[in-house]
Structure 1
């Protein structure tokens, strides 16, 4: 494939469907071309109960850091009418999204849900003990990302803002510019520049922020302690914790979308099939029989 800049990739949503696949703590969700959703993995709190969903255009999955040793998580679906549905753990009201409207993008963190409105403002529900839901003053946003305890917003001018836990400087993004995508992990934040390079801040105990040498990247994803990048040629790169093999993506080909869960990584291929590596204790990587998004030309 020829190199395609992230900006061009964003304009070719059919080719790079970034919201078609989501990976949570112990589950994986896939948006199909008919607007329905499939899910596999831990369903302890109903986070995989998506079989009745219809007219979905994007999915997101709440993550939980491995150290919590809990399967509590939730799954979010954005509908074509810009309303939102949610299933799963709701102890902190993170699934109370039924009254949302005019939403164009969603993100799911641990114990909370973030929604980007059509007018560029942002709404949030769920746990707010560290200010991770303090987004009511945000405007001019074009994308949002949710880590465990911090929230990231990408503005139309390519700058980035953040709120929430900043113990490891994961919210130190005020100097970032020329960004086209953001992702947030447990305690780190990733930014994709318009030239296809990547930057990162936050905890780097497992080298999850060692992305300075990456190039030709069109999409990014952040797991709890690992980072994944999708190149314009359909291959993938990963750094960080590889305890469960979640970074073993070097042999992937023809990938059009990526997602990173707590300790697993999923990729959607151009033929609509799905691949996954990493922790599979709850069947979250049992996706070999899936066929999802039908892309142009297939």
Structure 2
């Protein structure tokens, strides 16, 4: 039975339940550890030891810890990633230093990080992007202690970046950040550990070449960094801060619009996430409902027909699925052609004994509708606040052959 396994660029190593170590695949640099540089297409037992505890594989080197707390390494050593003080490749396991309190080890492309039982963090190998975390970009051929903290619990290594979790549940990262893989919110790298976000509930972390994934104590999965092959699982091009996997995410935000009175206008959003995802458009924070003029309030596309001054405002859409809720950026609708003086819009129609017409005035103003048959004597037939600015109105046709109407806007 197999107990644990690790994969490098093109080689594999595993530990069986009996504590023996096995390896297979590419062996150009001696990364299998069988004393040769010959590739192996089937698992090959490495040495005679049966007390291997854990193993990690870099691009072309391998590191492992035995149950007695000793650390061993083999394979490519161009950058000193084996930690033996040299840059000479090794085709068989060689012991790293004299310490017997190693508890965990991780391998990046060409660098190695490890944690001792006292909670201290150590790193060595390639440091071209500050991935060792010692404040420099100089490679190290032997383990160097990183900072003064003694509460490190978990570490992982990507191609040129490193992450680690402390016993207090905080997440830290350093090294290359050109694809946002550190999760700091920028693309700027760092030469020493920086705290990622505010959460103190991280319990596991793993690094790809240029992306990172981590799990919180509530069981949620988070990802950030490069996403050219969809490795983040959220549909974005890349992400510079941790994003919850499965949660709804906006691929395209709504844009602010300007529309004339009477026009038709449309807001649109693009989104991704685990289905089912529900949408709800809001105006000024209040959920919208489909009506005669407004449609698509629960879809990605919100359409407003016969735009009116009252439609001006701030529009957002809320996405919800079983994982989380996301609110879009605010898009503003500006309406032009808003009347400041009152007028009646043609045509005036006679339907079923009613004169029907559209009135326009400054929104929220008190208006009066007056009627006359001779353009001399005027009678107020309605008085109200025109809240929307433009609205339809109808009055009984008392003299269907000859009647005039006018609109007054009160101060």
Give the TM-score, by structure 2 length: 0.44
Gapped runs of 5+ residues in structure 2? 35-45, 85-95, 135-145, 185-195, 235-243, 248-411
Q: Map Cα deviations across residues 153-191 of structure 1 (whole Å, 9 max, x no partner).
A: 101111111110001111125115211000001110111
Counting only pairs closer than 5 Å after superposition, residues 3-152 of structure 1 correspond to structure 2 as: 102-135=1-34, 136-137=46-47, 139=49, 140-152=51-63
Deviation at 1:247, TM superposition (A): 1.0
Rounded Cα–Cα distance in structure 2 between residues aligned with 1:176 and 1:202: 18
- Give 1:274 deviation, angstroms: 0.7
Aligned length: 190
Distance 1:251 1:138 in 2: 45
Q: Which has the higher strand share?
A: 2
1:254-295 C-alpha deviation (Å, 9 max, x unpaired): 11100011011111111111111111112211263449xxxx
Cα offset, 1:252, TM superposition: 5.5
Question: 1:241 Cα deviation (Å)?
Answer: 0.5
> C-alpha distance in 1, partners of 2:48/2:121?
24
Report the aligned-residue RMSD.
1.7
Q: Contact 2:164 / 2:172 at 8 angstroms: preserved in 1?
A: yes
Rounded Cα–Cα distance in structure 1 between residues aligned with 2:120 and 2:178: 26
The answer to whether residue 247 in structure 2 is matched with residue 247 in structure 1 is: no
> Matched residues in 1 for 2:198 and 2:55: separation?
27
Q: CA deviation at 1:141?
A: 1.0
Comparing both chains, which one has the higher relative contact order based on Cα–Cα distances under 8 Å and sequence gaps of 6 or more?
A: 1
- Trace 1:146-295 onto structure 2 (pairs within 5 A): 146-173=57-84, 174-175=96-97, 177=99, 178-210=101-133, 212-213=146-147, 214-248=149-183, 250-251=196-197, 253=199, 254-286=201-233, 288-290=244-246
Say which one has the larger Rg.
2
The 2-side partners of 1:158 and 1:110 are apart by 26
User: What secondary structure sits across from 1:247 in the alignment?
Assistant: coil
User: Which whole-Å deviations, capped at 9, do the CAs of 1:124-156 have from their partners, x for residues lacking one?
Assistant: 111011100125116221000000000001011
Q: In structure 1, list runs of 5 or more residues that go unmatched.
A: 1-101, 292-298
Contact 1:273 1:290 in 2 (8 A): no
SS in 2 for 1:233: coil
Match of 1:90 in 2: none
- Partners in 2 of 1:274 and 1:234 — Cα distance? 15
Report the CA distance shift for 1:172/1:138 in structure 2 as closer, same or farther (over 3 A). Answer: farther
Confirm or deny: 8 A CA contact 2:223 2:245 kept in the other structure: no
